[in-house]
């Protein structure tokens, strides 16, 4: 299937690893030109043909400066993928005390998981409108099942869903399609890496990290029996970005392996 993405210019945030890196690879495979951003590059990202632009999107002016730098090189922009997310939140006491984080901790998580997408989208909209392009925001199943992740992260992703749906109608009238993809438990460094969420949980519970990771699909109720590969999420992103999907506006596509039990 020709997704009509060859020659399109795409900006992917949070692109150094995990879902972001998979999204970069998927667009490149479709013949798109990709600008990838993160605080730091990785050998895996450097091995692709993407152009890397470093940026701290959690800062107040980071998203605007990023978009300005990208457009200064080439004023075309067809697709923006707001994937940057995560943060320094850790699960200590999150079930017993959801307010274990102070105001600064909450603000930090919202800055990266919500505000960065809002600011990058605002800055990119004129170029995207000219191109009649697309925005895809990467959400999380924890936005609908907030007990499965630290509360600040779940709340920020829920707000991202509202932002996506709220902006989609107005932007759609201007020719820009805005959608979201909601992954379930995905095999990313944020979740299963040595410094990820599961590693912190394993240390707190005094259990083996690998054992805890192996049991995650069952714990999450995933009927697929395995964590999601980031490439699956990337395929959903690429399809939502394609001009062949003109009626996908304000959608939130869930890819969760049966984890989410409600419609």
pLDDT digits (tens, 9 = 90+) for 41-98: 999 999 999 999 999 999 999 999 999 999 999 999 999 999 999 865 454 544 456 6
- Where helices occur in the chain by DSSP H, the ranges are 18-29, 43-46, 62-73, 103-110, 116-131, 151-173, 189-192, 197-205, 209-214, 216-220, 230-241
How many whole angstroms separate alpha carbon 152 and alpha carbon 113? 10
What are the residue boundaries of the structural domains of the chain, listed by start?
A: 9-184+228-248, 186-227
| d(C-alpha 81, C-alpha 48), whole Å | 17
Give me Rg for the CA atoms of the chain.
18
pLDDT at 103 over 60: yes
Pairing between β-strand 134-138 and β-strand 177-183 as defined by DSSP bridges: parallel
Q: Residue 87 has what DSSP assignment?
A: -
pLDDT tens, residue by residue, 148-173 = 778 888 999 999 999 999 999 999 99
Is 153 among the residues known to form the active site? yes
Catalytic residue among 153, 158, 217, 234: 153
Q: Which residues pair with 228 in a beta bridge?
A: 186
Q: What is the third-level CATH fold of 9-184+228-248? A: Rossmann fold (3.40.50)
Sign of CA dihedral 104, 106, 110, 112: positive
Residue 100 confidence class, pLDDT cut points 50, 70, 90: low
Mean pLDDT of the chain: 90
What is the rounded average pLDDT of the residues 102-127?
A: 95
Tell me how crowded residue 169 is: count the other CB atoms within 10 A of its CB: 11
pLDDT at residue 145, as a whole number: 83
Would you state the pLDDT for residue 247?
96
**Is the model more confident about 22 or about 193?**
22
pLDDT at residue number 95: 47
Confidence class for position 177, pLDDT limits 50, 70, 90: very high
What whole-number distance in Å separates Cα of residue 152 and Cα of residue 167? 22
pLDDT of amino acid 98: 61
């Amino acid at each position: 299937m020709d997704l009509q993405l060859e020659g399109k210019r795409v900006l992917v945030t949070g692109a150094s690893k995990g879902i972001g890196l998979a999204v970069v690879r998927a667009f490149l495979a479709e013949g798109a030109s990709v600008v990838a951003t993160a605080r730091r590059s990785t050998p895996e990202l450097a091995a692709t043909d993407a152009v890397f632009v470093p940026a701290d999107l959690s800062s107040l002016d980071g998203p605007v400066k990023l978009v300005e730098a990208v457009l200064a090189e080439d004023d075309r922009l067809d697709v923006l993928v707001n994937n940057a997310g995560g943060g320094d939140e850790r699960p200590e006491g999150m079930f017993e005390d959801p307010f274990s984080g102070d105001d600064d901790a909450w603000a930090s998580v919202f800055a990266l998981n919500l505000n960065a997408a809002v600011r990058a989208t605002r800055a990119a909209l004129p170029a995207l409108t000219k191109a009649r392009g697309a925005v895809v925001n990467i959400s999380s199943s924890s936005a609908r099942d907030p007990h499965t992740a630290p509360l600040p992260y779940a709340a920020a992703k829920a707000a991202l869903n509202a932002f996506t749906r709220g902006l989609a109608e107005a932007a759609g009238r201007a020719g820009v399609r805005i959608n979201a993809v909601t992954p379930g438990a995905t095999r990313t460094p944020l979740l299963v890496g040595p410094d990820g969420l599961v590693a912190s949980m394993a240390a707190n519970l005094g259990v083996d990290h690998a054992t805890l990771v192996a049991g995650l699909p069952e714990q999450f109720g995933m009927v697929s029996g395995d964590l999601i590969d980031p490439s699956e999420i990337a395929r959903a992103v690429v399809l939502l970005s394609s001009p062949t999907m003109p009626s996908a506006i304000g959608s939130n596509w869930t890819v969760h392996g049966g984890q989410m039990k409600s419609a």
